[in-house]
């Protein structure tokens, strides 16, 4: 599915402004950036980076390697991206990766907990997943990493996954600030999906979890859709259209 045009107005709680920079469209893409537009609109991250095609060429392979398929399972990868984005209060990334997380198999309750709207321990029973979530929180916070978070992660994952999970969280944080600073817009398709699943943000507080304690965002969505992962629906609404791993940044390079 070809994602909607990326030059729509930015959306989200408290936002009535357009993107902070011009988003390049296929017809005006510089020569070095054109391969990334060959399959249609590559999304606003690439469209912004295309203003400096030399940076796009350098950045895209790195982001593709970190965010694309790897030894980290997709479910865990999306947990890290969504939790980090929520802690960093990145509207664009939270909205985009709420959809991607659902497509990756996370339940509505799990997504809400990762976004800071419910208690993590009450939703995630797996100790290794809780350790990864705690590591995301530690990476986003400033200062030294708490030894408890370090020990929990080390006891749950081998060293190579510790390194990859750390780089994943740190790279997500980089993109969080990039997307927030430039007010990148969420596509209408993603906003429609969020509304349909009862996961649309409901005010400024919904842009990121509080430092401690669940946010009072209201009850979780009810009904069958809330009991498990999305039953169907093209991954293009998340993984291809808006997911960072598919922002035209697949590890193998542009189409």
Per-residue confidence at 251, pLDDT binned at 50, 70, 90? very low
- Residue 74 phi, psi (nearest 5): -55, -45
The closest alpha carbon to 47, from 77, 3, 11, belongs to: 3
Per-residue pLDDT, 16: 53
The class of domain 74-237 in CATH terms is: mainly alpha
Per-residue pLDDT, 215: 33
Per-residue pLDDT, 90: 98
Per-residue confidence at 191, pLDDT binned at 50, 70, 90? very high
% of the chain exceeding 90 in pLDDT: 71
Under a CB-based contact definition with an 8 Å cutoff, are residues 102 and 111 in contact? Answer: yes
- Residue 27 phi, psi (nearest 5): -65, -25
Q: Which residue has the higher pLDDT, 247 or 201?
A: 201
Q: Which residue has the higher pLDDT, 204 or 83?
A: 83
Q: Which residue has the higher pLDDT, 249 or 103?
A: 103
- Residue 159 phi, psi (nearest 5): -60, -40
Distances (CA, A) of 65 to 61, 68, 95, 249, 251: 6, 5, 22, 8, 5
- Domains of the chain by residue range: 74-237
Per-residue confidence at 249, pLDDT binned at 50, 70, 90? low
**Mean pLDDT, all residues of the chain:** 81
Q: Helices marked H in 39-117 — which ranges? A: 44-49, 53-67, 74-87, 91-103, 108-114
Torsion angle (degrees, nearest 10) of CA 99, 89, 183, 246: -30
Average pLDDT over residues 160-188: 97
């Amino acid at each position: 599915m070809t994602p909607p045009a990326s030059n729509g107005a930015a959306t989200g709680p408290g936002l009535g402004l357009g993107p902070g920079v011009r988003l390049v469209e296929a017809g005006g893409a510089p020569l070095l950036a054109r391969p990334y537009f060959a399959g249609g609109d590559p999304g606003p991250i690439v469209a912004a980076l295309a203003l400096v095609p030399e940076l796009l060429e350098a950045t895209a392979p790195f982001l593709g390697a970190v965010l694309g398929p790897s030894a980290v399972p997709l479910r865990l990868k999306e947990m890290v991206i969504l939790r980090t984005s929520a802690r960093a209060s990145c509207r664009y990334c939270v909205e985009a990766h709420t959809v991607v997380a659902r497509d990756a198999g996370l339940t509505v309750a799990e997504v809400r907990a990762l976004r800071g709207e419910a208690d993590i321990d009450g939703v995630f029973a797996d100790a290794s997943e809780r350790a990864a979530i705690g590591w995301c929180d530690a990476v986003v916070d400033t200062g030294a990493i708490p030894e408890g978070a370090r020990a929990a992660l080390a006891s749950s994952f081998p060293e190579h996954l510790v390194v990859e999970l750390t780089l994943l969280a740190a790279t997500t944080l980089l993109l969080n600030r990039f997307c927030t600073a430039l007010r990148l817009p969420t596509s209408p398709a993603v906003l429609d999906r969020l509304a349909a699943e009862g996961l649309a943000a409901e005010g400024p507080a919904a842009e990121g979890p509080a430092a401690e304690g669940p946010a009072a965002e209201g009850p979780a969505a009810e009904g069958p859709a809330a009991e498990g992962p999305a039953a169907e629906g093209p991954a293009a609404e998340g993984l291809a259209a808006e997911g960072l791993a598919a922002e035209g940044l697949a590890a193998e390079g542009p189409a």
